[in-house]
Each structure stands twice: as structure tokens, then as C-alpha cells.
Structure 1
């Protein structure tokens, strides 16, 4: 945060270098120079510091940019000032796009992408914690799982099917606990139907995926 405070202060340095004829024009020029100086200062801050305070940095940019744009009306000849503002605006937008890429979280692994598809974004991580599955939602969890597998069965590799089986067994294990916590007979019946649908789909398609991989290996 200290670096960000220095950043905010750095732009103020520009305020001492204006020489306009009247106070209104002088203040307008100060706001424009302050905006330009701020954009230049942002680029000198370490990415880690920017990430920690990016919302504050971006909000301050918006404030200074709005002031600079409004100040143009107070200049008799604002051609040069307009060009300065546009140049800084382009510079900042390019830098912001660059930082957005830097700040973006890493893409999830293929295994995590598969888990996200089966259960929902971020529901199951490396800890394989199924505590969020309860008597009220377990039927819908099975539904999403089985329907997702059905929709993608022709795309899964053998390794994908192994992961699907691992997740299915973990969900079944959670069901054993949930059955003692108020799972209704109706939901239990519906889940049984989904399990009957999943079993042959898994067996046939995993065998098919393995056969395809063996063919590719021979080629």
C-alpha cells in the first residue's frame, strides 16, 4: 500500500510545472498534467503492489481521467492537451490489459476442468471434499454428473474415464452417509435409476476409449 500512496503522490509533482495566463486555465492544465503524470507513474509500480491495490489504482485513474476531460473546456486552445489525454488514455488501456493478463488466475488443469464439469465450478478440488453434498441436493448432483458424462462420453480418454470412476465412487461413498441424514425414498429411487444408466455407459465407453488408444499406439 505504501507504494500505491507514493504513486498517488507522484502525480502531484506535475502541479508545479504549469504556467498558464489565468487561474482557470492554470487549474485546468494542472488537472491534465496530473492525469498524464499519474498514468506514467502507474507503470513504474511493481505488479505485486498493483495487484494488491488494483481497485484503488483503477478508481483513482477514472477520477483523474474524468477531471482531465472536463478541464479541456477551460482551455482556449485544447488541441495539444486533447492529444496528451488521448495518448495517456491509450497508454493506460494497454497497460491495464497487460495487467489483467498478469493478474488472471492460472487455467485449471484438465483434471480440475473435468471435475468442474461434473460437479460445478470449484465444487471439488484436490481435497475431494464432498461435505457440501447433502440429502436435499444429492439427487441434482447425481443428475448433473450422469448427464455430463452422457454428453461427453464420446470425447473422454481412458484417463478421463478413470477420473470419472474415481469421482463416481467418491460420490457414492457420500451417498452412504447422506442416506442416514434424511434422504427421501423418492430421491433414492431416482438416484438408483441414474446409477443404472451410468454403469453400462461407463463400462462400454471406457473399453472403447482404451481400444482407440491401443489403435493409435500401434500406428
Structure 2
């Protein structure tokens, strides 16, 4: 009788262990399925709706991805589950790359790229405002402008040179204002030297760019 009780007790423990094990596997399978469903559901959301919540989408994906990877260890024969997880991972990464490209701001126009190079990114926009140029920084602004032109003079087109001349004249106009706001004699002298350097460089290279365009047109 005693042996029967012991056998029954062992059987109950084994059954309980098996039940726990099955429950753990079932939970792991469900975690994997929820991960797959999440990836598929995100792909069905309109890009406009995703854009405002993209950080939350990414955070939720990372959480579910980590949980799914951990769940694989609790699945005895996990080959099929692993394949599902890997397929969804690839699917999401391709989708993320597509959305990242869509959400990225449009590339600046060639004109804006030139302005950014001459003055710094975002300093001069369509409003052509030079209000940020003052007595303390105007010399460095001229310096960057002239040195950038010097370093790239062989690559500029005639249209680029026309834009450079427009920007140069606008900067000169700002200098007239800045001179009344405490521009030092030393900075004024240094700027004069940069202007002397720029003038012949502009004239010669713009003529060369125009000549090259005329040659290309004849061809």
C-alpha cells in the first residue's frame, strides 16, 4: 500500500511537471506568434500614421523581438518557430529601411547645398537673411566664404558662380550695416584682404566656366 502511494505521488509530480512544461511551451509559442502578428500589423498601417509614432513603434518592436528570441529557448522543437522569427525579422528590417527613407527630409536643392557650403548648414535660406552676421563673427563668415570658393573654384558651373556673386553682394551689404555696429579696424582690414582675393578669382573662373559651357554646347 505504501509503495502504491509513493508511485501515485511520483506520477502526480511528473504530471505536474509535464503540465508546467507544456504551459511554458504554449506561452513561448504564443509569444512568437504575437511577434509575427505585430510585424504584419505594422506593415498594414499607413505611413502618414506611422511617422508621428515611429519611435514608439520601434520601441515596441524591439521589446517583442527580444521576447520572441528568448521564447525560442522554451520551445522543444523550435525549428519552425525560429524560421518564423527570422522571416519576420527580415520583413521588419526591410520595412524599417523603407519607412526611414520615406520619413527622411528631402535633400536640399543644389542652390541650398551651395549656400550651406559657403556659410554653414541652414544659415542662409530662401529669405536670404544675414541678420545672424554681426561685428564679432563677420570676419570668420568672409573667411569661410572665400576659402570655400577657393577650394572648389574648378568645380563650379556658371550658374554656381552667379549664385556665389549674389551671396557675396548680400554679405557685402550686411557688412555696411555691421561697420556701424562696432566692427574692429583689424577685422575690417582682414576682410578687405579677403575681398581683394575673391574679386579676380570670381572674374577669371566665371569666364572659364562660361567658356566650358559654350564648348559643350557646340559639341
Relative to the length of structure 2, the TM-score reads 0.87
Alignment length (residue pairs): 200
Partner of 1:69: 69
Q: What is the DSSP-based 3-state SS (H/G/I as helix, E as strand, rest coil) of the residue aligned with 2:105?
A: coil
Partner of 2:132: 132
1:21 deviates by 6.6
RMSD between aligned alpha carbons?
Answer: 1.5
Partner of 1:107: 107
CA distance in 2, matches of 1:193, 1:35: 66
Post-superposition CA distance 1:150-197 (Å, at most 9, x none): 011111111111100000011111111222222222211111111110
1:148 deviates by 0.7
Q: What is the DSSP-based 3-state SS (H/G/I as helix, E as strand, rest coil) of the residue aligned with 1:129?
A: coil
1:33 deviates by 1.0
1:73 deviates by 1.6
CA distance in 2, matches of 1:60, 1:184: 57
Partner of 1:204: 204
Partner of 1:49: 49
Further displaced range: 209-218 or 107-116: 209-218
CA distance in 2, matches of 1:73, 1:81: 10
1:209 deviates by 1.4
Partner of 2:162: 162
Partner of 1:82: 82
Q: What is the DSSP-based 3-state SS (H/G/I as helix, E as strand, rest coil) of the residue aligned with 2:187?
A: helix
CA distance in 2, matches of 1:134, 1:190: 15
Partner of 2:16: none
Post-superposition CA distance 1:112-134 (Å, at most 9, x none): 11111111111111111111112
Partner of 1:7: none
1:218 deviates by 2.7
Relative to the length of structure 1, the TM-score reads 0.87
Which has the greater radius of gyration? 2
1:108 deviates by 1.4
CA distance in 2, matches of 1:135, 1:67: 58
CA distance in 2, matches of 1:26, 1:182: 77
Further displaced range: 100-109 or 154-163: 100-109
